[in-house]
Amino acid sequence: MDPSHEILFQPVKIGPVTAPNRFYQTPHATGFGWQRPRSGAALRGVKAEGGWGVVCTEYCSISPTSDDSPHAFLTLWDDGDIAPLALTAEAIKAHGSLAGIELWHGGAHASNRMTRLPTLAPRVQPALYQLPTTARGMDLADMRAFRRWQRDAALRAKRAGFDIVYVYAGHDYLPFQFLSRRTNDRGDAYGGSLENRVRLLREMLEDTREAVGDTCAVAIRLAVDELQGPSGVTSAGEGREAVEMLAELPDLWDVNIAGALGNDSKSARFSEEGFQEEYVRFVKGVTTKPVVSVGRFTSPDRMVSQIKRGIQDFIGAARPSIADPFLPTKIREGRADEIRECIGCNICRAANNEGVGLRCTQNPTMGEEWRRGWHPERIPLARREKVLVVGGGPAGLEAALTLARRGLEVHLADAARKLGGRVNRESTLPGLATWGRVRDHRLHMLGKTDACLYPESRMSAEDVLDFGADRVVIATGSQWRRDGMGVLGMGGAFPGALTPDDIFAGADPGAEVVIYDDEHYFMAGALAERFAREGRRVTYVTPQSVVSSWTAYTDEQGFVQARLIELGVRIVTGQGATGWERGLRTTCSYTGVESLIPGETLVLCTGRLPDLALYQQLAGRHPALGLVGDALQPSSMADAIHSAHRYAREIDGPQPPRREMPPLTDGRAP
């Protein structure tokens, strides 16, 4: 271990329990919830095995009045929930880590679409889940019931074996709705003054401590700034005052920022590592209890700085612990160079928002710990064979690295001088430099194997066959379409139009650019930002009602649209492209009315086509031919890497994933 990192491995006392080190996996969603307890337990267990001193669950509902369906969430509604959650506590504690559980009530944010119970809130107000319904204002009987739900859930958490029990007042959920003047205009003892608005939070802490504080630490997760200016809670105003009022009540402070979840888990495109420090740095100055916060920390030196400068006592992490569950172990063993650093792409957040199991661009094993039996650091050796991987993009690099780890003789060839494929291009876009870590990590780790890399080596079918490899993996990527076919449009004639491939190859889009987006992820918005920063006049056109609509899943859409507006990009929504002739011909997505949007150059960001020429030339001519990444299915980088990793895992034969079926079984998919 680097001596300068020793401080990260000091034990820290949290009330009646002690964390073995300062690495704290803060609560984060998995997409498994109460329906898939084995998957959740296996995922958290790997984190503990990787050295995280504290490992917490995702949000765990304390009552059927807090139902987040269709999104996955945990429950402690009755004693029947204890045994499934005990699986997670046991998996965490088996490695000497502390197990934390985040008790949750969403208030006006809970949809209750499954339970169909009334939504509760401090006052009568429209539900915050964007439903045509109204939350019911809680009366004093509701308040007493709410406190009982928290206490009962805490007792069940203790019986399940958890060491840290949360009072959750972050992310604009029910206790925070009482705290904020924006959502609490009550005229009784729970409204008005800050002292009154803090009352419920104080009672929750006292109730939880009385119930389980003899053996469990009581943590509070509090948003100290909701980023709404003086009208809301701010770190310089009522956020600080609330911490001062409650300073010594909890055993640990877990602090962050509120408003939309995207503020707390802001992507690297719109934030730097440690970006929450300016909001939370005051907390340690007003409490003697340990403090944890997050900031997408991946650098050990930055972590040490946080501790030594008195910002926090623990290094809180959600996304970095997803990208590399063994981050603490690698630092402890002097292998910090091997950390699989989070790139801040928020594909993990997209999985949660889509209502599916957790995924990660950097770590293809995330979410597959139980379902497929994948481990991020261990992989079985296979029979020694000679493998040729054609294509050095993210999928090709992942296939080469995983096959090398399995003990195969690996050779990788790519036509370009610099390996990395799409990563080399996309990481040059505004805010996406961290995406280069996908390439850099794999090249670095390949350097520790006996794999042979051949840049500037374009391979024909005859070259491949002459190479004499036992296996050939085609990872030749994809190309952007020129016909305009996208998610909503069926294509058309667009003479002279450019694609992102042309732009990355150096094509000049001119002074007046029209970008047409019918792919709806990051590319069109990022190119629009780049062009605007270069001083070009940019018009962004999409058949959707907002820009980069799919980035709502990565919690970025609002930030993307705000950025383009700030840069003066003209935004035209609800228009589908039909052709290009002295401008972009469009039809209204709703009425069919035709329009012409003038511009000098058109850039199409619609769909991609797999580059299958080499694969098709080899099909039937080589006995072990594989296809991975965008050449298999143009998609996100996370999907490309996952497909390559799965190929390398399954060279011994298919491994059908297991499904969790109630009651708990080890049933496999048919």
Q: Which CATH number fits domain 386-477+611-649: 3.90.1150.10, 3.30.43.10, 1.20.120.1200, 3.40.50.720?
A: 3.40.50.720
**Cβ neighbour number for residue 53 with a 10 Å cutoff:** 25
pLDDT in tens, 264-284: 899 999 999 999 999 999 999
Residue 575: its H or E element: strand 575-580
Alpha-carbon span 26 to 163, nearest angstrom: 14
Q: What is residue 221's predicted lDDT score, i.e. its pLDDT?
A: 97
For every residue of 215-240, DSSP letters joined together read: TSEEEEEEEEE-SSGGGS--TTTHHH
pLDDT of residue 464 exceeding 80:
yes
CATH classification (class only), 480-609: alpha beta
Q: What is residue 557's predicted lDDT score, i.e. its pLDDT?
A: 97
pLDDT in tens, 334-380: 999 999 999 999 999 999 899 899 999 999 999 999 999 999 999 99
Nearest to 193 by CA among 128, 238, 141, 151: 238
Would you state the structure tokens that stand for residue 136, as one six-digit string? 């019911």
Q: pLDDT band for position 668 (50/70/90)?
A: very low
Q: What is residue 259's predicted lDDT score, i.e. its pLDDT?
A: 67
Given 24, 173, 279, 540, the catalytic residue: 173
Greatest distance between any 2 Cα atoms in the chain: 83
Q: What is residue 261's predicted lDDT score, i.e. its pLDDT?
A: 63
The mean pLDDT value of the chain amounts to 95
Would you state the structure tokens that stand for residue 508, as one six-digit string? 């000049």
Q: pLDDT band for position 130 (50/70/90)?
A: confident
pLDDT in tens, 588-609: 999 999 999 999 999 999 999 9
More confident residue, 464 or 665: 464
pLDDT of residue 260 exceeding 70:
no
Domain ranges for the chain? 3-281+292-354, 386-477+611-649, 480-609
| Helix axes of 194-212 and 140-160: crossing angle, nearest 10 degrees | 40
pLDDT of residue 479 exceeding 50:
yes
pLDDT of residue 492 exceeding 90:
no
Q: Which residues contact 167 (CB under 8 A, 6 or more apart)?
A: 103, 150, 175, 201, 204, 205, 208, 218, 219, 220, 221, 250
DSSP 358: -
More confident residue, 219 or 264: 219
Could you tell me the pTM of the whole model?
0.95
Nearest to 128 by CA among 75, 60, 182, 77: 182
Output phi, psi for 390, to 5 deg.
-105, 110
Nearest to 410 by CA among 626, 264, 629, 197: 626
Q: pLDDT band for position 669 (50/70/90)?
A: very low
Q: What is residue 670's predicted lDDT score, i.e. its pLDDT?
A: 38
Rounded to the nearest 10 degrees, how much is the dihedral formed by the CA atoms of 232, 237, 239, 241? -130
More confident residue, 662 or 620: 620
pLDDT of residue 1 exceeding 90:
no
Alpha-carbon span 206 to 577, nearest angstrom: 60
Helix ranges restricted to H, 487-547:
500-504, 523-533
Nearest to 603 by CA among 539, 558, 555: 539
- CA–CA distances in Å: residue 44 to residues 9, 214, 314: 20, 25, 18
> Could you identify the residue written with the tokens 């690495």?
23
Told to judge if 173 belongs to the known catalytic residues of this protein, a careful annotator would answer yes
CATH fold for the domain made of 3-281+292-354: TIM Barrel (3.20.20)
More confident residue, 106 or 663: 106
Q: What is residue 667's predicted lDDT score, i.e. its pLDDT?
A: 43
